[in-house]
Amino acid sequence: MTEDDDGLHLNQLDRCDNIEFDAITPDEKGNTLFFKGDHLWKGFHGAAQLFNESFKELDNFHHLGHVDAAFLMHTNENPQDHDHIYFFLNDKVFSYYGHILKEGYPKEIQQDFPGVPSHLDAAVECPKDECISDSVLFFKGHDVYNHDIVTKVVKKKTWSHLPKCTSAFRWLEHFYCFHGHNFTRFQPLSGEVTGAYPKDARNYFMKCSDFGHGGGYSLPKCSQVSVDAITSDDAGKTYVFKGPIYMRLDVGHDSIHAFPISRMWKEVHDTVDAVFSYNNKIYLIQRDQVYIYRSAGHYILIEGYPKPLQEELGIEGPVAAAFVCAENHVVHIIQGQKMLNVDLSATPRAVSTETLLPVSNVSGALCGPDGIKLFKGSEYYRYESPEVLGRSKIAPEPLNITSALMGCHD
């Protein structure tokens, strides 16, 4: 067995020990791959393995024992390239899908990416809405090359304020420059950095015994979980709110982290009472106020909000839970043991029907392909549809929240 650049053998290489990654990228299944020397970690925890076990040609062609940069292609314009992983080694580029090298590779970098230099430091994909068009950001020193995937036009910028990135990563629609064992979050169009950075990657992107998961937050046991609010937006992103934090549930258990609500919805502080998604917008209800955000790209507060609940939905607060089912214009609002139905397509909005529920003290509600879930403590009640819920006189047997359903461990 050969040694990597730091002289560490496979059974000694520990990513919790001041590792500076060579490259980070998701694969086509959403698993995060971390590269260091000739080693690879799959996911946010687990042991290292030799990367030629998964991508053998990287070693067969060059025997370099490292990767300069990597990214997952995101493009709806060129479906033949979508979800391919691109690796960069010196002046060569490799394209993989399903861990199989695409015919014709490796190539000179300039054949696929004209205007992009060799010997790169990092690369990261930037989908449309987060960048102006589907793009790739390539890093070399303080220079950043924005490559338009469709037109192949490259625009060079110099971000001297950003640390020199040894790897870059897009995660939960945010962009991260990794340097040493730290990372700095940046805005992909300008390189702007806001907030207190750098931060230690071991608090967020891996599980290390002496470091806090997600900056000091640890995932609770499923028997201890409770929900303040929950929703899935039109893009399929599922958010759960508890106190001043939120988590994304659609990213896979290994990637679940807690963040302050104000990180995503910066005007909202403290606890959210209820939340629902409708027509590419997300509604966050806090006491007698409602905040409405556009869901395209990052969440942007619509001008004029927050507004009083009475003005927006024709009801008084507080609200315990709310949900909207797909391709439906009615928001079902739960207050105490009552469910109020409000037609969101009507003007002005007002309560159309009111129903007494068989379940009390509901704290969150979600409508999905498998029906309605009403959350109460660490349990939930399932109904086939809002109509079935509205007609029910007796509560069904409660079901326990599981790790497959929520960010928790058994």
pLDDT (tens digit, 9 = 90+) per residue, 320-361? Answer: 999 999 989 999 999 999 999 999 999 999 999 999 999 999
Q: Pick the range with the lowest mean pLDDT from 5-14, 193-202, 297-306.
A: 5-14
Q: What is the 3-state composition of the chain as percent helix, strand, coil, each rounded to the nearest 5? A: 10, 40, 55
The tokens for 405 are 């359903």
CA distance 183 to 293: 28
CATH number, position 45: 2.110.10.10
Residue 109 or residue 258, greater confidence: 109
Domain co-membership, 263 together with 197: no
Residue 216 forms part of a structural domain? no
Domain co-membership, 265 together with 329: yes
CA distance 154 to 159: 16
Number of domains in the chain: 2
pLDDT > 70? residue 8 = no
Residue 267 or residue 225, greater confidence: 267
Confidence of residue 56 (pLDDT cuts 50, 70, 90): confident
Containing structural domain, residue 268: 222-400
Domain co-membership, 227 together with 373: yes
Give the pLDDT confidence score for residue 7 in this predicted structure: 43
Give the pLDDT confidence score for residue 68 in this predicted structure: 94
Region 221-234: what's the mean pLDDT? 90
Confidence of residue 30 (pLDDT cuts 50, 70, 90): confident
pLDDT > 50? residue 10 = no
Domain end among 168, 203, 238? 203
Confidence of residue 5 (pLDDT cuts 50, 70, 90): very low
pLDDT 10s digits, 285-326: 999 999 999 986 678 999 999 999 999 999 998 999 999 999
Give the pLDDT confidence score for residue 189 in this predicted structure: 93
Domain co-membership, 41 together with 146: yes
Domain co-membership, 197 together with 231: no
pLDDT > 70? residue 214 = no
Please state, as a whole number, how many other Cβ atoms lie within 10 Å of the Cβ of residue 27: 18
Region 75-89: what's the mean pLDDT? 85
pLDDT > 50? residue 123 = yes
Domain end among 175, 203, 231? 203
Residue 327 forms part of a structural domain? yes
Q: Which amino acid is at 45?
A: H
Confidence of residue 99 (pLDDT cuts 50, 70, 90): confident
Question: 304, 368, 313, 363: which is closest to 341 by C-alpha?
Answer: 313
Domain co-membership, 265 together with 183: no
Please state, as a whole number, how many other Cβ atoms lie within 10 Å of the Cβ of residue 341: 15
Residue 240 forms part of a structural domain? yes
Give the pLDDT confidence score for residue 64 in this predicted structure: 54
Domain end among 154, 176, 203? 203
Residue 4 forms part of a structural domain? no
Residue 215 forms part of a structural domain? no
Domain co-membership, 320 together with 260: yes
Domain co-membership, 36 together with 169: yes
Domain co-membership, 27 together with 157: yes
Domain co-membership, 386 together with 321: yes
Confidence of residue 50 (pLDDT cuts 50, 70, 90): confident
CA distance 87 to 71: 7
Region 168-176: what's the mean pLDDT? 92
Count how many Cα atoms sit within 13 Å of the Cα of residue 233 in the half-sphere of its side chain.
Answer: 19
Residue 403 or residue 114, greater confidence: 114
- Buried b or exposed e, range 120-150, using 16+ CB within 10 angstroms: bbbbbbbbbebbebbbbbbbbebebbbbebe
Average pLDDT of the chain, as a whole number: 88
- DSSP code of 398? P
Q: How many helices (H) and strands (E) does the chain have?
A: 5, 34
pLDDT > 80? residue 254 = no
Residue count of the chain: 410
The answer for 353, left when phi > 0, alpha when psi is -120 to 50, beta otherwise, is beta
Confidence of residue 225 (pLDDT cuts 50, 70, 90): confident
Domain co-membership, 73 together with 171: yes
pLDDT > 70? residue 218 = no
Give the pLDDT confidence score for residue 219 in this predicted structure: 66
CA distance 66 to 90: 10
Domain co-membership, 236 together with 142: no
Residue 363 forms part of a structural domain? yes
Q: Which amino acid is at 79?
A: P
Residue 61 or residue 166, greater confidence: 166
H helices of 32-118, in order, are 56-62, 109-112
Give me the DSSP letters along 17-57.
Answer: TT---SEEEE-TTS-EEEEETTEEEESSSS--EEGGGT-HH
Share of the chain above pLDDT 90, in %: 63
Give the pLDDT confidence score for residue 339 in this predicted structure: 97
Beta bridge partners of 32: 26
Residue 11 forms part of a structural domain? no
Residue 214 forms part of a structural domain? no
Give the pLDDT confidence score for residue 215 in this predicted structure: 45
The tokens for 388 are 């079935």
Contacts of 243 (CB under 8 A, 6+ apart): 228, 271
pLDDT > 50? residue 21 = yes
